[in-house]
Amino acid sequence: MKNLTLIIHSDIEQALADTLRAAPQANKFIFTRVEGHSAHDERDISLSARDKVVGYTAHVRVDILVADTDVNNLLLVLRTAECGLAGRGYYWVTEALAFGEL
């Protein structure tokens, strides 16, 4: 089992949730609100006036438990989805050493 983690701009959260609900590879996923801190490029169209003033942007961290064999298929789904994700997020994949319900 793998954990696919995404960091996305918060304004595409709902569209991404809809995409993940429709993807059979994404059985369970969690959204967590996070702040993105970096040196901002003024040409970044995703920055609001608020972002420029407070110095960070609202992001969402998405953790998705995925079967080992489904990671590449889910990444393909995300890359081709028309949910506004292109150029608006980062991802990494880690091993889930244990998985279960409590």
pLDDT digits (tens, 9 = 90+) for 13-25: 999 999 999 999 9
State the average pLDDT over residues 54-64. 85
pTM of the model: 0.82
State the average pLDDT over residues 59-70. 95
pLDDT at 72: 97
- Torsion sign, CA atoms 81, 83, 88, 89: negative
Residues, the chain, total?
102
